[in-house]
Amino acid sequence: LAKTTQPISMDSYEGQEVNITCSHNNIATNDYITWYQQFPSQGPRFIIQGYKTKVTNEVASLFIPADRKSSTLSLPRVSLSDTAVYYCLVGDWTSGTYKYIFGTGTRLKVLA
């Protein structure tokens, strides 16, 4: 089961780009990489998912190098409302479904 490692916390200022890197050295061939965001008193919310190279959607980009042992979530021009905990997950494909295991996450604080 692939384990992920992320920084515990990060601070940024409004308008800056934030990059959060996750290490997953034991990622398996069929594993996908998924990022979630969680605000206080809410359930985690899906941000982005990818397998290799680069994925972009309306809120973030995900960069995955060729060896897939790490990934970087990029949040462009953050605002105060992006203050949250961000989790990197590596999907463990078991019995036809993913077993999503959450690590400690990265607590991002956006300052004015």
Partner 1 sequence: DAGVIQSPRHEVTEMGQEVTLRCKPISGHNSLFWYRQTMMRGLELLIYFNNNVPIDDSGMPEDRFSAKMPNASFSTLKIQPSEPRDSAVYFCASTFREGRGFFGPGTRLTVL
- Residues near partner 1, by CB under 8 A: 32, 34, 36, 41-46, 49, 87, 91, 93-105
CB of 42 to partner 1, least distance (A): 7
Secondary structure class of 19 (helix, strand, coil) = strand
Q: Which is nearer to partner 1, 42 or 81 (CB)?
A: 42
CB of 9 to partner 1, least distance (A): 14
SS3 content of the chain, % helix, strand, coil (to 5): 5, 50, 45
Q: Which is nearer to partner 1, 95 or 112 (CB)?
A: 95
Q: Which is nearer to partner 1, 13 or 93 (CB)?
A: 93
User: 82 is written with which tokens?
Assistant: 């992006």
- Relative to beta strand 106-111, strand 9-13 is parallel
Residues with Cβ < 8 Å from 44, sequence gap 6 or more?
36, 37, 38, 87, 102
Q: Is the dihedral of CA 104, 82, 63, 59 positive or negative?
A: positive
CB of 102 to partner 1, least distance (A): 4
Q: Which is nearer to partner 1, 96 or 112 (CB)?
A: 96
CB of 33 to partner 1, least distance (A): 12
